Amino acid sequence: MTAETTGSRAPAASIRATGLTLGYEGRAVVSGLDLSVSPGEILVVLGSSGCGKSTLLRAIAGLIDPLSGTLTAGDAVVDGPCADRALVFQDDALLPWRTAQRNVELPLQVGGVRRAERRRRAAEWLARVGLSTHADRLPGQLSGGMRQRVQLARALAGAPAVICMDEPFGALDAQTRVAMQQLLVEAWQASQCTVVFVTHDVSEALALGDRIVVLAKDGVRDEVRVPRPRELDSPADADLQARLTASLRAPHDIDGLAVA
């Protein structure tokens, strides 16, 4: 993949949360979070259901304001959505009245790319996610997994500095999931954009992350670095797998359910 095929890019940006408290209607979901992501890093966020992973991504994307603390992207305080920070949602968020092709064109259109060029680039991204033959379908005519693939193509086509991904591959079958993980790593290597990736899956975290954090309501509970190239299925990988699984299982509340 070349710069020409991926389009012009914003430089990767750092993300920094300091004493960050996030929540809804004044009620905190995540409190006092200190976390930084380096430019060009893939940070994977693991955590139990309801601990605030999607909330954190929404805050980084500028869709919700912090209750307190600060959140910066690059040199700027995050104070609203911005085309440089893309979000791939947990539930698909395609525009239902636009075809797959026109959904992928959207960030290019917003970025002022001319029609013929944005058609070409969108078609390329759809081909990469294996959906060339479905370009003219509306989202309602696609399977859930296909819609997630269109979302991925749309996010990558916009060549953002930061891409936040909320369990983007959860709905995919195992084989497509691995293919999409490879595509993401390939696109990331070509662009070196900053990626914040949320998943429940420890294996997926270890396949993708430069660093993996386990999020809890009061901040980061555990953190590991994973060197590249990956040594999947090695003893070191098994140790990390066991450690992260134990961190995820530490006593906590799952969205109101007390779990010992």
Ligand X SMILES: Nc1ncnc2c1ncn2[C@@H]1O[C@H](COP(=O)(O)OP(=O)(O)OP(=O)(O)O)[C@@H](O)[C@H]1O
Site residues (vs Mg ion, CB under 5 A): 54, 90
Residue number with CB closer to Mg ion (90 or 203): 90
194 near ligand X (CB under 6 A): no
Answer for which of 7, 40, 52, 160 binds ligand X (CB under 6 A) is: 52
The Cα–Cα gap between 154 and 162 comes to: 14
Query: Residue 170 corresponds to which tokens in the numbers above?
Result: 């959860």
Structure tokens at 204: 């997926």
Residue with Cβ nearer Mg ion (21 or 90)? 90
Q: Which of 10, 17, 29, 43 binds ligand X (CB under 6 A)?
A: 29
The CA distance from 92 to 204, in Å, is: 20
Element (H, E) at 145: helix 144-157
* Amino acid letter, 22: L
- Report the residue from 47, 107, 139, 168 that binds ligand X according to the rule CB under 6 A: 47
> Which of the choices ligand X, Mg ion, none does residue 255 contact, using the CB cut-off of 5 to 8 A by kind?
ligand X
The string over 4-32, giving b where at least 16 C-beta atoms fall within 10 Å of a residue's C-beta and e elsewhere, is eebbebbebbbbbbeebebbeeeeebbbe
State the minimum distance, in angstroms, from the CB of residue 46 to ligand X: 10
Cα 174 from Cα 232, distance rounded (Å): 16
Out of Mg ion, ligand X, none, what residue 50 binds, judged by CB under 5 to 8 A for its kind, is: ligand X
| Residues whose CB is less than 8 angstroms from the CB of residue 258 and which lie 6 or more positions away in sequence, other chains included | none
Question: Applying CB under 6 A, does 168 fall inside the site for ligand X?
Answer: no
Cβ proximity to ligand X, 99 vs 151, nearer residue? 151
Binding footprint of ligand X on the chain (CB under 6 A):
24, 29, 47, 49-55, 90, 255
